[in-house]
Amino acid sequence: MTERQTVIQDLFVAGAHPGASGSGRVRLQTLVLIRWIAVIGQSFSVLLIRFGLDFEFPFLPCLLTILASAVLNIVLAVQYPATARLSDRGAALFLAYDLLQLAALLYMTGGLTNPFVILILVPVTISATILSVLSTAALGLLALVFTSLLAFWYLPLPWGAAGLAFPSLYVGAIWMALTLGIVFMSAYAGRLAFETKRMSEALSATQLALSREQQLSAVGGIAAAAAHELGTPLGTIHLVAKELSRDIEADSPLTEDIELLVSQTERCRDILAELSRRPGDGDDQFRKTTIVGLVEAAVEPYDLGTIRIVVVPQTGHPPEVPRSPEVLHGLANLTENAADFAMAEVRLSIYWDTPEITILLDDDGPGFALDVLKTLGEPYTTTRRQRGGMGLGVFIATTLLGHSGAQVEFSNRVEDGEIRGARVAIHWPNGIIDQGLDG
């Protein structure tokens, strides 16, 4: 590989540091389009100032500077496909050139006294939304250097017949405003892009969890449907085998084989009976259950004996609800989280005689930390960093439960002025959770 190929690969392939706030990858076509907009705007402004306002300034050097950006854009469009993506470093160099070109134009058209000097914020703001913190900091520093140089060295514009001298205090104020603008805009845009990226990743994790739960539910439905269909022919085989065992003589050489056939058909019937109890979407009897059955199915995998999982329904006949993958996965996530912090017991109390269905999930652990309690339900909020948690479990649970119409509230149980454990209250307004049974 030649040195030129190595440089190109570094600019178009290498990504940003994994811990960077930016994605480290941006489409070349996007930055080229932004530069074309800048080229058109710069050309219009230069022509307007020269021929509309009749100002005398280095007109030809300005056009050549703008033309250089246009030529570079054409070369990039011809040399690389529309799907090409720049690395973090490549995009930073791309925007650094734009800063340099803009600084050159401002030098020839009044420096900081040029009203268009505000455009020096644009490359830094773009960097903050798509690149890493390091690249944005480097471009921000470069913009500050150019701004500082333009405060002292520039070719003045002929403001009127007698000329117009800007006081140094005014130029200094412009420099200060641009400096603050660069810092504020880059910090704000960077933070906004970071939060958007985190939310996008969290939603992707939620969709993956829901898809997995739906696949499991679908497999359960297929198994239950198969068990239902195979039940009749297997029952016939079992009946015939039993009749043969009664009719055949005890000392017959076929007796042992027939007894084996009977025992195996009984075993198959037991297996099919177990499969038929696994709910799915194939039939109405597999699509719905009671709210108590739904909770018991969600928490069953975590009732392993070390931490007791107790389901306490109110007395009376529980309402029927759809066997929703969203609710199953959401309740399972919250139960797992409670079991991780509980000392001995996790209790799920179920109420339905009010205008809403309510599930209170209580544990006897240390409770939620007060600094975390306010942000629970947001992505990447966790109280177990040391255990390797990423803070997505509760977010996924609240998102999936919210999709079913539930309202989720987090609090601590306080008795005698002391925290006795954490509480998660899940409320479904009357008629919301059972709407899926109408379809």
Which tens digits make up the pLDDT trace of 37-87?
989 988 998 898 888 887 888 889 999 999 999 999 999 888 887 777 788
In this model, does residue 337 exceed pLDDT 90? no
Higher pLDDT, 19 or 364: 364
Choice between 60 and 115, residue whose per-residue pLDDT is larger: 60
Round the CA-based radius of gyration of the chain to a whole number and report it: 35
What pLDDT sits at residue 317? 84
Mean local confidence (pLDDT), 224-243: 70
> 128 and 182 in contact (C-beta within 8 Å)?
no
The answer for residues whose C-beta is within 8 angstroms of residue 50's C-beta and 6 or more apart is 57, 59
For the stretch 250-264, pLDDT in tens is 777 777 777 888 788
pLDDT at site 348: 92
Q: Alpha-carbon distance 354 to 373, whole Å?
A: 27
pLDDT of residue 7: 47
Q: Residue with structure tokens 């906004």? A: 192
**pLDDT above 80: residue 177:** no
Q: Which segments of 248-306 does DSSP mark as H helices, in order? A: 255-276, 284-287, 291-299
Please state, in angstroms and as integers, the Cα–Cα distance from residue 193 to each residue in 22, 135, 163, 186, 189, following that order. Answer: 8, 14, 45, 10, 6
Kindly tell me if the per-residue pLDDT of 113 is higher than 70.
Answer: yes
DSSP output for 130-175: HS-HHHHHHHHHHHHHHHHHHTTS-PPP--SSS--PPPHHHHHHHH
